[in-house]
Amino acid sequence: MMNAGVARAIESVEKRGDDLRMVFSGGALPNFNDALRAERTVITGEPLSLVLPPDAFLVAGEPRAPAYSRDGALAVRDGVLVSSDGTPVLGFRDGDTSGIPQTLQVEKNDAILGRAEDLRIEPDGIFGYARSVLDPGTQVASVERVIVGRIALARFPAGTRLERVDPTHAKPPASVIPHVGTPNDGSFASVEVQRRAVGGVDSDAAIARLQEAYLTMRAFGAEERARNAFARGAFDLVK
């Protein structure tokens, strides 16, 4: 049976390796916080990519049990606004007064007929697109702007420790209720559009921590081998 110390050391190496692979990931939430650095941002020119205010998270996943993310590399898949791993990004639909962030989705017929063009997010969080329409009487084509809704942002009380769900999503303790709003609503700043955050994990620090974890694993392994050898020797003497 594997020694508990060896098992923990192996797990640490695996998690440190995962963290190193997040060096260029936007909104990365590593297993350990000792290799974090300030986010850097790059210009993408992509109309659905954005950089969040420093204290803000996107609301994502299930509306009744959301997770929170700083992954601003957004896209539209099957008409739904999603983050880079395909998780729906929630917001307040145009005309919805429920106060509960919901999935933001292109109108079904526009998505099916391919009429949704120029999809983009504005600095105030509005997600919308251009729709070409043809007047049946005059046969004159025109373009109208369709507003799907505004992305939701969340902020947590100072000192809140979020629980990591996956590499880009986290949840607060059950007792913590976030403040939820939208960009440029007087509570949250605007988002920076056509940009995204990269490199929240320091590569040099991540490599150093991985090496330390590997050396620890080797030390535990050597100790385990020595213990096993001693046990076999004692057993042989008994025989």
User: For residue 181, what are the β-bridge partners?
Assistant: 153
DSSP state for residue 191 in the 8-state scheme: P
Q: Please report, for residues 39, 51, 95, 125, the alpha-carbon distance to residue 169 in angstroms, rounded to integers and kept in the order given.
A: 16, 16, 28, 20
Closest to 79 in 3D by CA, of 27, 146, 134, 125: 146
- The answer to whether the CB of 70 falls within 8 A of the CB of 59 is no
Phi and psi (nearest 5°) for 160?
A: -65, 130
- The answer to whether the CB of 58 falls within 8 A of the CB of 52 is yes
Residues 6 or more apart whose Cβ sits within 8 Å of residue 110 = 79, 116, 129, 131, 146
User: For residue 116, what are the β-bridge partners?
Assistant: 131
Q: pTM of the prediction?
A: 0.75
- The answer to whether the CB of 154 falls within 8 A of the CB of 178 is yes
Instruction: Count CB neighbours of 79 within 10 A.
Output: 17
Query: What integer pLDDT is reported at residue 164 of this predicted model?
Result: 87
Query: What integer pLDDT is reported at residue 196 of this predicted model?
Result: 86
Query: What integer pLDDT is reported at residue 128 of this predicted model?
Result: 96
Query: What integer pLDDT is reported at residue 16 of this predicted model?
Result: 72
List the chain pLDDT tens, one digit each, 239 residues. Answer: 556 766 777 777 777 777 666 666 667 777 777 777 677 788 999 999 999 998 899 999 999 999 999 999 999 999 999 998 999 999 999 877 678 999 999 998 898 888 899 999 999 999 999 988 777 777 777 888 999 999 999 999 998 988 988 888 999 999 999 999 999 999 999 999 999 888 667 677 767 777 777 777 777 766 666 666 545 555 555 55
Query: What integer pLDDT is reported at residue 212 of this predicted model?
Result: 78
The residue behind tokens 């590569």 is: 203
